[in-house]
Structure 1
Amino acid sequence: MAAEHNTYWKNVVTIVPIVGASIATIVYLLRLYSRRLAAVGLLLEDVLMGIGLIISYCATAFVVQTAFNGVGLSVASLPPDRRERIQFGSWMIQKFWAPSMAFVKISIVVFLKRLLGSVRVFSIVSNCLIVFIAVWAITALLVNTFQCIPVQYYYDKTLKGHCMKGQVKFFQAMGSIALVEDIIILCLPIPIVWRLQMVFRQKLAVTLVFSLGALVCIFSFMRLIEFRNFVLTDLASSSAKESIWTCLELDVAIICGSLPLLKPLVQGFLGKVKSGVSRDRSQPSTNTKLHSSRTTNDGFRQISDQHRKWAGSKNATTIATQSRHSSDVELNAITAHTSVRRDTDGPSDVSSADSVLNREWEHDTISKS
């Protein structure tokens, strides 16, 4: 029974993290390809996401390493060398989880700031959030590293040393803060989107794109729950599920942070599918109410807060101006000749009416002659 139990967890702890990391890698590579299709170079959020992905590989590698050293079995049934390797793997996973999550989260915040940064409140909050995430990651890394003195005592109990009290509570606190960060990132852009002058369908679509982060919150919450069963004296049998949720949280965060950037790739695919449809049916949209200060090549618009300053009269003026500019574009290189004829039954109040009529009669006389 013990051998079967070990085989089950060995397969799960090996396959799930590798599959998750592979999907995250594919999605990130598609993100880079979308940048190329849109003729956009690598932006800061792309670099940060790539760093987070590389660091997540290290966490995944150590999770798989524990799978081949008896994870799922009681620590008492393992030889000392395998017991130490599982303890060391658990210690190393902690070192890579927080930095990887920090780079991924900051990447997402930077991307949102690029879209909504012209809204002053969002810009301030996002800057504070970036600083908070960085401080959280540094704190988690340092405390995880020096939770035992000497640091090797965490995985080598043959040494003389001691660990801080409340280690599991510290892990839960760091996980709780990570979950709060995920919720803030998820909810931060929603109020701004629903204050924009867009139709309901557009608001709903943008909200659904931003709501992908809810999946990260779910995996973060599942990881936090699993810490209730986390036993530091028997990590071999108590850390399997926590390790899986840790890897999935990282992978899902990378996937959800990259999916919105696949817009150029999706549009190119749909364009090929609809290549047989006549282009005459495609009309440029001039009625959108999404006000933006800059449209980037990747298809995203930087949203401004100018809608706050608009009143009813200004709305009418703006719409009229946009309509006139649209007509100027459509009527470019077209010469229009317009004649106006006015018939009156009585005397005209216009002083130049007689001269105009005299010119018409003279023109008719010349034509007849």
Structure 2
Amino acid sequence: MSVTENTYWKNVLIVVPIVGAAVATLTYVLRLASSRIATTGFKVEDLLMGIGLIVSYCATAFVIYTAFNGVGVRTSLLPSDERRRIQFGSWMIQKFWAPSMAFVKISIIVFLRRILGTVSAFRIGANCLIAFISMWAVVALLVNIFQCNPPKFYYDKEIEGGHCMTGQRKFFQAMGSIALVEDVIILLMPVPIVWNLQITFRQKIAVTIVFSLGGLVCIFSLMRLIEFRNFVVTDLASSSAKESIWTVLELDVAIICGCLPLLKPLLAGFLGKVKSISKGQSNSGTKLYFHTSGTHHHDGFYKITDPHGGTGSRSQAETSRRGSAGDIELQGIAVHTAIESRSEVASSDRTVVGWAR
């Protein structure tokens, strides 16, 4: 235990990461339970989210580790062994942040691609973003490891001949800025598709909210980025506390927001059954989905058909789309509308999207 101790920051860096990790874990477990209830099986995005959660535990563990090693106290006031431990903890947190965020973001993109991937522009954009995030995570991890020569000089300044690269804080800010841009892109990607639907303004807002839970992640990512203004690599003990909190909260909130849209089968049991009317028939449940030519997933999400292509032959698409109707259920609003290709505005080919109760 440190002779000089900041009790406030010690308690904060113990309680907040544990609570955040617990809520993120609970949300992920509920996601798996929801998939089991919906009989959809374990998907790639579930695996990626699970890996991101496990990696986030490592970052959380090292944040708590720093809480017991003089966090919130000026580095010069700490014993040399404790100074090395807190700097080592800070060094290790950086190693797990980027990989965890990458797995979580890619999981969300894979999920969006599953339901919107038949729109060719969205599918291409999603694949490019996955590749970019993967490269970003690799670069961030490698530079974090080798920012000092030898690498352990970051936390052990007594090594003779050791040195660190110039502009360490600028590097952290650059990686954080890129991460924020990625969050914003993921947030905005589904919006053009939703706002091209021929539905009311209020309904567009409702669907956008479902796909925009990631906005919370952007807020925490921005707060983390702002905190780097006070990050001093030569005094990590006193300057890294707030940055560590925003780091773990960003990870936890990203996992929570990535899982919430998939909890509908569980939530339906608590919120009660809502009648769905389609073609004069009544169905029960609360679902948000896009309907295509008969292909759907039991988790309530349906792929949206690309009017410029999509899957299957043209004749098959024409046959299946005529007279087919899909429902997006939310708040008891009932509307039926259509998305049409401009090049086929005179034809009868259409994908029907509705809001039904």
With the shorter chain as reference, the TM-score category is 0.7 to 0.9
Superposed, 1:49-128 pairs within 5 Å as: 49-128=49-128
SS of the residue corresponding to residue 39 of structure 2 reads: coil
Superposed, 1:314-325 pairs within 5 Å as: 314=348
Contact 1:198-1:290 at 8 Å conserved across structures: no
The corresponding residue for 2:171 is 170
TM-score where L is the length of structure 2: 0.82
The corresponding residue for 2:217 is 216
Unaligned runs of 5+ in 1: 275-280, 320-369
The corresponding residue for 1:14 is 14
Superposed, 1:1-369 pairs within 5 Å as: 6-160=6-160, 161-271=162-272, 282-286=275-279, 291-293=291-293, 294-306=295-307, 307-309=339-341, 310-311=344-345, 314=348
Q: 1:29 to 1:291 in 2, by over 3 A?
A: closer
Matched pairs, number: 310
The CA distance in 1 between the partners of 2:144 and 2:150, in whole Å, is: 12
Residue 210 of structure 1 and its aligned partner are, at CA, apart by: 1.2
The aligned amino acid for 1:311 is V
Contact 2:4-2:70 at 8 Å conserved across structures: no
The CA distance in 2 between the partners of 1:85 and 1:296, in whole Å, is: 49
SS of the residue corresponding to residue 295 of structure 1 reads: coil
The CA distance in 1 between the partners of 2:133 and 2:276, in whole Å, is: 44
Deviates more, 1:204-213 or 1:113-122: 204-213
SS of the residue corresponding to residue 209 of structure 1 reads: helix
Deviations 1:110-145 (A, max 9, x none): 000001100000000000000000000000000000
SS of the residue corresponding to residue 234 of structure 2 reads: helix
Contact 1:196-1:290 at 8 Å conserved across structures: no
Contact 2:289-2:301 at 8 Å conserved across structures: no
The aligned amino acid for 2:240 is S
Residue 158 of structure 1 and its aligned partner are, at CA, apart by: 1.1
Contact 1:106-1:133 at 8 Å conserved across structures: yes
Residue 204 of structure 1 and its aligned partner are, at CA, apart by: 2.1
The CA distance in 2 between the partners of 1:223 and 1:22, in whole Å, is: 21
The aligned amino acid for 2:243 is E
Unaligned runs of 5+ in 2: 281-287, 308-338, 353-357
Q: 1:190 to 1:318 in 2, by over 3 A?
A: closer
Q: CA RMSD in A?
A: 2.3
SS of the residue corresponding to residue 222 of structure 1 reads: helix
Larger-Rg structure = 1
Dislocated runs of 4+, deviation >6 Å: 2-5
Q: 1:8 to 1:102 in 2, by over 3 A?
A: same
SS of the residue corresponding to residue 284 of structure 1 reads: strand
Deviations 1:182-215 (A, max 9, x none): 0000011101111123444442222001111110
Contact 1:168-1:230 at 8 Å conserved across structures: yes
Contact 1:223-1:246 at 8 Å conserved across structures: yes
The CA distance in 2 between the partners of 1:235 and 1:141, in whole Å, is: 19
Deviations 1:61-101 (A, max 9, x none): 00000000110001111111110000000000000000000
Deviations 1:155-183 (A, max 9, x none): 01111211111100000000000000000
The aligned amino acid for 1:232 is V
Q: 1:36 to 1:16 in 2, by over 3 A?
A: same
Residue 220 of structure 1 and its aligned partner are, at CA, apart by: 0.3
Higher strand content, 1 or 2: 2
Q: 1:38 to 1:81 in 2, by over 3 A?
A: same
Residue 301 of structure 1 and its aligned partner are, at CA, apart by: 1.2
